Amino acid sequence: MPQPHTPRSDGRGRELENSERLRGLLTRLNAAGPDAWRTDPDAAELMRHAADKYAALARKHGLDPWEAATAAFEAMRTPSVRRADDPWAVITRAVQITCIAENRANGLLCSVHQARRPRYSSFHDAERFSERENPLTDYHPAFRADPFPHDDEDDDSGDEMEVPRSTGVESAVEDTIALLCWNRWEPVVARAAVECICARLAESVSRTGAYESLRRDRHARALLDLPAPSWYRLLRIILGAPDLHLAGTNAGRGVLLRLLIGESLAHLMDDTDLAAAIKVAAPGVMRGRP
């Protein structure tokens, strides 16, 4: 597609601004068939004018002027524009909505189609788990635990307590990613999956709520390009199994909580049952149902 250029200084742009002239041109292009948009010089002139007209609107939403022109092109081919009292008004509104949706889609890391829906556009832009100014423990109860329980009566030797390596949320996240990579997960896939799970956990009231939300979220799984069995297994590994009879066990706690309450990465690497579960869940290995 041609690159944006400076606005035209001749009178052709003013002619195209006339609603009736625009209506006539769109009607002629529609009657001539789809090839007319590629071969008709007036169509090319119209699209250059649209790029100039909506350049400021596109820049306002962080887009290229020709992205706005593309939105205008999609609107121009609809019968509603040709029948409208003011075709340019309808086109402008369509371009504005598309620019807003494109901007939201870039921030939410989703499709433009989903960004148009209030159920998705109401969320804040995606952010990396490590970019939060305050630790997740400040406002999420699922991660609040005392990693250093001790009894003053047993502390007679005067020796300092050895501090586990994974004492913070960020360390727990990085150790979780390292544990997956140690057990046959691709580093890029492991990081994306863990950060996706942690982001959802930050928005949920509990680990169980985050687990159920992610288990039903086909869109998140599709973005990560993970097969369903791998995704379900991974959720149980990281967040813990939601089964009541497993509450209080390592399987019920999950890797993240185990790291936060003081277990070291080395200790988890020595857990043969956990290692086997992670290897089975790795994409390309898991074939059955969860």
Q: What DSSP string runs through 142-194?
A: GG---S----GGG--S-PPPPPPS--SHHHHHHHHHHHHHHTT--HHHHHHHH
Decide: residue 8, CB within 10 A, 0-12 exposed, 13-18 middle, 19+ buried.
middle
Q: How many domains does the chain have?
A: 2
Does 66 share its domain with 110? yes
Decide: residue 258, CB within 10 A, 0-12 exposed, 13-18 middle, 19+ buried.
buried
105, 219 contact by CB (below 8 A):
no
Residues with pLDDT less than 70, the chain: 1-13, 116, 118-167, 285-290
Does 168 share its domain with 201? yes
- The verdict on residue 1 lying in a domain is no
Does 36 share its domain with 175? no
The confidence score (pLDDT) of residue 153 equals: 44
One-letter amino acid of 239? L
| 226 DSSP assignment | -
The confidence score (pLDDT) of residue 55 equals: 92
* Reported pTM: 0.42
Does 212 share its domain with 260? yes
- The verdict on residue 3 lying in a domain is no
Does 103 share its domain with 213? no
Q: Count of residues for the chain? A: 290
**Residue that terminates a domain, selected from 60, 86, 121:** 121
The confidence score (pLDDT) of residue 46 equals: 92
- The verdict on residue 156 lying in a domain is no
- The verdict on residue 159 lying in a domain is no
Does 141 share its domain with 246? yes
Does 104 share its domain with 138? no
**Residue that terminates a domain, selected from 88, 121, 154:** 121
- The verdict on residue 172 lying in a domain is yes
- The verdict on residue 157 lying in a domain is no
- The verdict on residue 154 lying in a domain is no
The confidence score (pLDDT) of residue 242 equals: 80
168, 262 contact by CB (below 8 A):
no
Does 37 share its domain with 137? no
Does 258 share its domain with 180? yes
Q: Domain of 252? A: 129-145+164-281
Does 113 share its domain with 213? no
Does 270 share its domain with 140? yes
How many Cβ atoms sit within 10 Å of the Cβ of residue 267?
A: 14
- The verdict on residue 288 lying in a domain is no
d(CA 142, CA 201): 8
Does 138 share its domain with 62? no
